[in-house]
Chains A and B, each alone.
Chain A
């Protein structure tokens, strides 16, 4: 079994990256659990894989395309029907901090 572990700081970082606001208690618990899990999945590193290509998709399909044809959109009312907040036909979202 590979001797790998994951620290509480790393877990806090992962939570930030994945937009999960964890309480301290959750952070403790998850850090302990993830430490065990990461140690277990790290077993894959025991396998010799030099020259083994990775598989993303089992069946090697290529070139699946659609024709450049227009299809009827949903329409704004249907698109906005489940929006938590909407204004002027748009999705209203809280203020964005980071500039893209």
Chain B
């Protein structure tokens, strides 16, 4: 497993530890949670000017939470496996003591009166929430450029996107502002940012963690999940947030798959691995394909049985998704109308409620959100329902059948996580279709609800930017994807001699450059 040298007491080195190392250090009394929190808040202060990962930094609350962990440890109270570890929370989860904006003007400054279940479980686990991270507005996008408050930047190359919609969360972890982050994955919004930022990002089985308090984009697809620098860290976080919630009717009433144990068991001997034939070819960057092929060969060399598998309906997954998700979101976002909370525009005492609603939504929503609302309204309209929404739900059934058939032949499926490396900010902003293509590989797992993750599999030769290997497993077999990811991670780290992120120097160069100038 990757290590940066444990036990160092320096601030800058503290942030380089893994979450597992931090937790162990806190438990052993080698470092206090307060020191950890302070070190990360300092790191944010130093670097977020460049990265813009955070929309809201909750310094006081974080320090208070950290001191509480320290108090409990000193009192001999039992602590969870992640107690004292700092975390960045995507601003799509409600927090009762911090604003929740979903990166939208329509919710700017909104203070929810309740915590999301995920938020509550993190707090109960003693995790220290540093603040809320940037995202594409209402989780719609693949680059974080749709944020109403400006994009986040990729720590590998600050002129490039960190992916989306959980781009802020990914940027925060890749910039060492936090060892852990929570994102949400509806069409790939955890896995794709993880891939382009050189991180581990997981979409658990749908329903594995609660959506209560997760501001809904597409209800049947939204899934909270972890982002981290190592597979073990992701697994620890996965277990901390998962499990049945009676406040969410779609949450799974089943035991959490043993992902931490799987992360500690990086062995793929005899595992049947299927390469999805349809997720390759035109539109995929050569470097992405090259690193993917190497990862597959690596699995083979580690003892896995690799074959090619065809999932013929995956070709239709993207159009089906871009009918189902906008349809659900057109309804989910109807509540934002300026009547009960959030932005209200145009209420001059003369205008009608209808007019105020329309002007509020026009002013409060960005263009991508508007496009998807209108697209969804169209797909659900009487006369169009059968041909669009109805048809897309049928295609969804066929995608599920493809997975079911594939998983009769293999234990996991693999593909590149996303067709390209991080693209420059602004490159696809005016071309919605081009932007949508980033989700090509990730979407099928959202439609089917099965477990999937992205693990780094090297830098693309042509641009030196991270690429990700996507691993998919049947629903409730989340442990399998961790098992494969752990094996790949271990082998690559060993081959490389150091963890991948040690090479992510753009951010530090930028920061160090400033410091030198400032001297």
Direct contact of A and B (CB under 8 A): yes
- Indicate whether B75 reaches chain A with its CB closer than 8 angstroms: no
Binary per-residue interface labels of chain B (363-403) against chain A in the complex, 1 for a CB within 8 Å, 0 otherwise: 00101001101110111010000011011111111101000
Q: How far is the CA of A97 from the CA of B362 in the complex (A)?
A: 20
**B392 touching A93, Cβ below 8 Å:** no
**B220 touching A52, Cβ below 8 Å:** no
Contacts of A66 in B (CB 8 A): 246
Stretch at the interface among B51-59, B226-234, B314-322: B314-322
Q: Which residue of the partner chain, among B252, B338, B374, B398, contacts A30 with CB atoms under 8 Å? A: B374
- Indicate whether B255 reaches chain A with its CB closer than 8 angstroms: no
Tell me whether A81 and B111 are in contact in the complex, defined as CB-CB below 8 angstroms, given that A19-B357, A95-B353 are known contacts.
yes
**B362 touching A20, Cβ below 8 Å:** yes
- Indicate whether A17 reaches chain B with its CB closer than 8 angstroms: yes
Give the residue name and chain of the B residue nearest to A86 (CB).
B340
Q: How far is the CA of A10 from the CA of B220 in the complex (A)?
A: 27
**A55 touching B396, Cβ below 8 Å:** yes
**A52 touching B319, Cβ below 8 Å:** no
- Indicate whether B407 reaches chain A with its CB closer than 8 angstroms: no
**A38 touching B378, Cβ below 8 Å:** yes
Contacts of A64 in B (CB 8 A): 249-250
**B394 touching A52, Cβ below 8 Å:** yes
- Indicate whether B432 reaches chain A with its CB closer than 8 angstroms: yes
**A85 touching B344, Cβ below 8 Å:** yes
Contacts of A57 in B (CB 8 A): 220, 250
Binary per-residue interface labels of chain A (68-100) against chain B in the complex, 1 for a CB within 8 Å, 0 otherwise: 000000100011011111000001011111100
Q: How far is the CA of A11 from the CA of B365 in the complex (A)?
A: 17
Give the residue name and chain of the B residue nearest to A43 (CB).
B319
Contacts of B396 in A (CB 8 A): 54-55
Q: How far is the CA of A55 from the CA of B433 in the complex (A)?
A: 25
Contact residues of B: prevailing secondary structure = helix
Q: Which residue of the partner chain, among B323, B361, B390, B393, contacts A19 with CB atoms under 8 Å? A: B361
Q: Give the shortest distance, in Å, between A29 (CB) and chain B (any CB).
A: 8
**B391 touching A49, Cβ below 8 Å:** yes
- Indicate whether B358 reaches chain A with its CB closer than 8 angstroms: yes
Residues of B199-231 contacting chain A, CB below 8 A = 206-207, 220
Q: Give the shortest distance, in Å, between A24 (CB) and chain B (any CB).
A: 13
**A94 touching B352, Cβ below 8 Å:** yes
**A96 touching B353, Cβ below 8 Å:** yes
**B354 touching A84, Cβ below 8 Å:** no
Binary per-residue interface labels of chain A (39-64) against chain B in the complex, 1 for a CB within 8 Å, 0 otherwise: 01111111101001111111101001
**B339 touching A82, Cβ below 8 Å:** no
**B398 touching A47, Cβ below 8 Å:** yes
**A17 touching B375, Cβ below 8 Å:** no
Q: How far is the CA of A85 from the CA of B432 in the complex (A)?
A: 37
Q: Give the shortest distance, in Å, between A12 (CB) and chain B (any CB).
A: 10
Contacts of A37 in B (CB 8 A): 322, 371, 375, 432-433
Tell me whether A61 and B250 are in contact in the complex, defined as CB-CB below 8 angstroms, given that A6-B378, A18-B377 are known contacts.
yes
Contacts of A40 in B (CB 8 A): 319, 322, 433
- Indicate whether B355 reaches chain A with its CB closer than 8 angstroms: yes
Give the residue name and chain of the B residue nearest to A65 (CB).
B249
**B250 touching A44, Cβ below 8 Å:** no
The interface size bin for chain A is 35 or more
**B319 touching A20, Cβ below 8 Å:** no
Give the residue name and chain of the B residue nearest to A66 (CB).
B246
Contacts of B395 in A (CB 8 A): 44, 47, 49
Give the residue name and chain of the B residue nearest to A36 (CB).
B433
Binary per-residue interface labels of chain B (230-271) against chain A in the complex, 1 for a CB within 8 Å, 0 otherwise: 000000000000000010011010000000000000000000
The interface size bin for chain B is 35 or more
**B337 touching A85, Cβ below 8 Å:** no
Binary per-residue interface labels of chain A (5-27) against chain B in the complex, 1 for a CB within 8 Å, 0 otherwise: 01000110011111111100010
**A38 touching B390, Cβ below 8 Å:** no
Give the residue name and chain of the B residue nearest to A96 (CB).
B353
Q: How far is the CA of A43 from the CA of B321 in the complex (A)?
A: 12
**B397 touching A53, Cβ below 8 Å:** yes
Q: How far is the CA of A35 from the CA of B124 in the complex (A)?
A: 48
Q: Which residue of the partner chain, among A18, A19, A41, A52, contacts B322 with CB atoms under 8 Å? A: A41
Contacts of A79 in B (CB 8 A): 113
Give the residue name and chain of the B residue nearest to A17 (CB).
B377
Contacts of A29 in B (CB 8 A): 367
Q: How far is the CA of A82 from the CA of B374 in the complex (A)?
A: 28
Which of A19, A42, A83 is the most central at the interface, judged by chain B CB atoms within 10 Å of its CB?
A19
Q: Give the shortest distance, in Å, between B274 (CB) and chain A (any CB).
A: 20
Q: Which residue of the partner chain, among B110, B319, B343, B381, contacts A41 with CB atoms under 8 Å? A: B319
- Indicate whether B359 reaches chain A with its CB closer than 8 angstroms: yes
Q: Which residue of the partner chain, among B246, B362, B374, B391, contacts A44 with CB atoms under 8 Å? A: B391
- Indicate whether B416 reaches chain A with its CB closer than 8 angstroms: no
Q: How far is the CA of A94 from the CA of B489 in the complex (A)?
A: 58
A/B interface sample: 28 pairs, CB < 8 A: A20-B361, A20-B374, A26-B370, A34-B378, A40-B319, A40-B433, A41-B320, A41-B388, A42-B387, A47-B394, A49-B391, A55-B393, A57-B220, A58-B206, A58-B447, A58-B475, A59-B206, A59-B252, A61-B250, A74-B113, A81-B113, A82-B113, A82-B341, A84-B340, A85-B344, A95-B353, A97-B352, A97-B354
| 11 further contact pairs, Cβ within 8 A, besides A20-B358, A33-B432, A61-B250 | A19-B358, A20-B370, A33-B371, A40-B433, A41-B319, A53-B394, A55-B393, A82-B342, A93-B339, A94-B353, A94-B355
Give 4 nearest A-B pairs by CB, closest first. A54-B393, A58-B449, A84-B344, A21-B358
